[in-house]
Chain A
Amino acid sequence: MKVLVAVKEVATVEEGFELDGTTIDERYLEYDLNEWDDYAIETGVQLAEDDDDIEVVSVSIGPERAEETIRMALAKGVDRAIRVWDDTLAAAELLDVRTKAELFDAVIEAEAPDLVLTGVQAHDDSFGATGVAVAEAAGFGHAAVVNALELDADAGTAHVRRELEGGVEELTDVELPAVLTIQTGINEPRYASLRGIRMAQRKEIDVQTLADLGLDPAVVDSPIELTDMYEPESESNVELFEGDANAAAENLATVLREKGVGAE
């Protein structure tokens, strides 16, 4: 049995960032493994630990820089990695959901996994759509926002819980092959061990181009264009208490007392 885990390297924005047109100035971006994908990786690795016949393969769309993040997945126990990238992808302004679905679908066709795991969303653009779109493209079953998984490989079923709003969980059975989008908290992602990190250096990252995947360069064309980026306007008129911690705390305490806080 094969589990494919989608792994994205995302940028987080540092304090005091500056905008540069429709992007954030590179100096303020820090690249890291997408939080949700960390839980997806852990889910895949735990399945493989429980069953020797399970191979876990990661797939990423991203430039060479992303290999650091991919190595992290390998160090945590992913068996091998695929990275999809070439000049056409690098030149694209934006990879939309349709494009990503086609790319992942091509990888799924080549790898024929039984289970595909993605994060619920990527922290950077928060689209939250890739996993379910991929399922449709591949003709797989799916479940979005999964916070518990019990795999019955023999029956070909994934018993999952979907985390709905307001503390309600939906219990669902999904037929394999399937795509599950994994929610944080489903498990406790491990830290890579030193041995894992050493072993990851020797594991293979297979770089696939659009041509390798049998895709036409037109697959990156998108009618969606990012036209503006700006800092949101504040909805409230926040009153900031300045000065050192003691002075600020004193002023805040005064306001809190006025509101009856701390009164016995």
Chain B
Amino acid sequence: MSDVLAVVDHRRGQLRDVSYELISAGAALAEAMDGTLALAVISGNVEQFAATLDREGVDTIYTVDHGEEFNHDVYVQSIEALYDELTPTALLMPNSVNGLDYAPAIAERLGMPLVTDAIDLSYDEILTVTREMYGSKVETTVTVSEEPFAVTVRGSEWAKAEGNGGATIEPFEVSIDESAMRSTVTGFEEVGGGDVDITDADVLVSVGRGIEEEENIELVERLADALGATLSSSRPIVDNGWLPKNRQVGQSGKVVTPEVYIAIGISGAVQHVAGMKGSETIVAINTDPDAPIFDIADYGIIGDLFDVVPALIEEFDE
């Protein structure tokens, strides 16, 4: 029998969706391993979190009541203590920004092989992980022939666990060594406010690095005007300072769900797609037929935006 320990994600008092997805991924893995699934809930309102997380497939929920917010030193020490006690075969963690702040550290400390950003897992004597490479242009499978192992799981790839698990909730005492803590969280700040709210728009014209130069932004502005749409963008456009932060769609920007999303010169990297895949209709204009954006688009033009966009403006300006 081999067991799975999954570490849930929360922030500022809220469990993040990936926590419920981790339960689904962990329960399936535990079943394939003929083992049990335990969750680790570290910091925050652990009792309330544990009660909400008692979903189908969960056997035990260990709570570590230490501090309110995420701190990677607390996580690493807590997971190490839980690991020593439970000796699970699989350690599952979220591939979130905070996950990436502690998962590599705990895997390194425990000497485990680590595979990040899994989009699928299977287990048949050894673990097989499906993950993407080269900006989602290819998918790969990797096998891991050593146990225990650590995996981080991409968000939105597994369904959220539902139902009731009837899990045992066990407070777990960890004496955190404060002298080993090397970082302190001093606050949080919301960024990307301002006059425009792209989450309100029915139609978004969204521009990516394919636009090449700052002076070309004017071209997509004209298209947005002609369509009565709002202009948004992928991250590099904001990184370059060509549009303000409040226009950025994606994991670290805004999540948008317009009726029509027109992606122009955007490749469709996972962190971008995370912010727009809920759009009702997705249109992509891109020179590269292999661009991953076409995998989620409803309509597409494989072509040069500098030819297509002016032609489209003309269509609507007539």
Within 8 Å of chain B (Cβ to Cβ): is A175? yes
* CB under 8 Å from chain B, chain A span 119-147: 120, 123-133, 135-137, 140-145
Q: Give chain B's interface residue range (CB within 8 Å of chain A).
A: 35 or more
CA distance A95 to B146 in the complex (A): 15
Within 8 Å of chain A (Cβ to Cβ): is B312? yes
CA distance A211 to B132 in the complex (A): 34
Q: How many A-B residue pairs have CB under 8 A?
A: 277
Does the CB pair A240–B300 fall under 8 Å? yes
Within 8 Å of chain A (Cβ to Cβ): is B135? yes
Q: Across the two chains, which residue of chain A brings its CB closest to B134?
A: A13
A242: min CB distance to chain B, Å? 8
The 8 Å CB contact of B191, one of A137, A169, A249, A256, is: A169
Does the CB pair B139–A256 fall under 8 Å? no
* CB under 8 Å from chain A, chain B span 55-94: 72, 76
The 8 Å CB contact of A169, one of B189, B240, B288, is: B189
* CB under 8 Å from chain A, chain B span 288-313: 288-290, 292, 294-304, 307-308, 310-312
Chain B residues lying within 8 Å of A170, measured Cβ to Cβ, are 185, 187-188
CA distance A162 to B252 in the complex (A): 11
B268-303 near A? 1/0 per residue, CB < 8 Å:
000000000000011110011110101111111111
* CB under 8 Å from chain B, chain A span 229-264: 229-241, 244-246, 248-250, 252-253, 255-256, 259-264
Binds A, one of B42-50, B168-176, B212-220, B228-236: B228-236
Q: Across the two chains, which residue of chain B brings its CB closest to A233?
A: B295
Binds B, one of A14-22, A48-56, A194-202: A14-22
Asked, given contacts A144-B101, A145-B100, A238-B294, whether A168 binds B142 with beta carbons under 8 Å apart, the answer is no
CA distance A245 to B311 in the complex (A): 7
Asked, given contacts A129-B114, A249-B312, whether A232 binds B96 with beta carbons under 8 Å apart, the answer is no
Within 8 Å of chain A (Cβ to Cβ): is B15? no
Q: Across the two chains, which residue of chain A brings its CB closest to B184?
A: A173
Chain B residues lying within 8 Å of A178, measured Cβ to Cβ, are 182
Chain A residues lying within 8 Å of B101, measured Cβ to Cβ, are 132, 142-145, 162
Within 8 Å of chain A (Cβ to Cβ): is B210? no
Within 8 Å of chain B (Cβ to Cβ): is A69? no
A1-44 near B? 1/0 per residue, CB < 8 Å:
00000000001110111010010100000000000000000000
CA distance A142 to B284 in the complex (A): 39
Chain A residues lying within 8 Å of B239, measured Cβ to Cβ, are 184-185
Within 8 Å of chain B (Cβ to Cβ): is A92? no
CA distance A15 to B292 in the complex (A): 12
Chain A residues lying within 8 Å of B188, measured Cβ to Cβ, are 168-171
Does the CB pair B113–A224 fall under 8 Å? yes
Binds B, one of A57-65, A77-85, A96-104: A96-104
Asked, given contacts A98-B114, A101-B108, A262-B316, whether A141 binds B303 with beta carbons under 8 Å apart, the answer is no
Chain B residues lying within 8 Å of A249, measured Cβ to Cβ, are 301, 308, 311-312, 314-315
CA distance A208 to B158 in the complex (A): 43
Q: List 8 A-B contacts (CB under 8 A).
A: A129-B100, A136-B104, A142-B183, A144-B97, A175-B183, A236-B282, A252-B283, A263-B228
Contacts from A to B (Cβ < 8 Å): 11-13, 15-17, 19, 22, 24, 96-98, 101, 120, 123-133, 135-137, 140-145, 161-175, 178, 181, 184-185, 188, 222-241, 244-246, 248-250, 252-253, 255-256, 259-264
Which 8 A-B pairs have CB atoms at the shortest separation, nearest pair first?
A: A141-B182, A223-B146, A185-B239, A249-B311, A245-B307, A253-B315, A132-B104, A129-B104
